Amino acid sequence: MQHAAPNTGYWTYLIPLVVFAIVILRNSRARRLRVETLWITPVMILVLVGLSLSQAGMPTPGMMAIDLLALGFGAALGWWRARFTTIAVDPATHQLTSQASPIGMIVVLGIFAIRYGLRMYALQNADTLHMPVNAVADASLVLAVGLVCAQRLEIALRASRLLGEARAAKAGS
């Protein structure tokens, strides 16, 4: 049975919580939304996760199934989280702003908590799970890909629709 190294303290769990607190503070304000740049983060994440997964070698069919389930679950969470994001269009300038909701931020905190819980469980029960620990880590990476890509896609679709409606209303008046 594997355990964490004896010199690791609770501060290792404090760092992600501090980062999460900074993200909450940053997302609690309305920020300018540029639809034309929403694709950048998903592409970067896809490349990085693709590189990470390519280093692990070919997954077994069971692990592929788990990764596909994680991708679908992440996409559903990303879509759901994006639905709670408030998007506004300035009628005069057509500038878009977005503001994350507290529910969306709680979803991310829940995902972090689940990921850490699964990681600890996998470390302690690697023999009974009959799968390598990094397979659980790979599934959490794939879940993040689904979440970010679906969230950005949903926000881009909604923002484009709202911007089109604002432009049509201005042209009609």
Q: How far apart are CA 37 and CA 31, in angstroms?
A: 14
Domains identified in the chain, total number: 1
Domain for residue 20, yes or no? no
Domain for residue 125, yes or no? yes
Is the separation of the CB atoms in 96 and 87 below 8 Å?
yes
Domain for residue 26, yes or no? no
Is residue 7 over pLDDT 70?
no
Domain that holds residue 105: 35-49+58-172
Is residue 82 over pLDDT 80?
yes
Domain for residue 97, yes or no? yes
Is residue 29 over pLDDT 70?
yes
The mean pLDDT value for 114-130 works out to: 75
Could you tell me the two tokens for 22?
């900074």
109 vs 42 pLDDT, higher one: 42
Domain for residue 21, yes or no? no
Domain for residue 126, yes or no? yes
Domain for residue 72, yes or no? yes
- Write the CA distances from 140 to 61, 67, 144, 172, integer angstroms: 17, 8, 6, 48
Domain for residue 12, yes or no? no
Is residue 132 over pLDDT 80?
no
Is residue 57 over pLDDT 80?
no
Is residue 134 over pLDDT 80?
no
pTM of the entire predicted model: 0.77
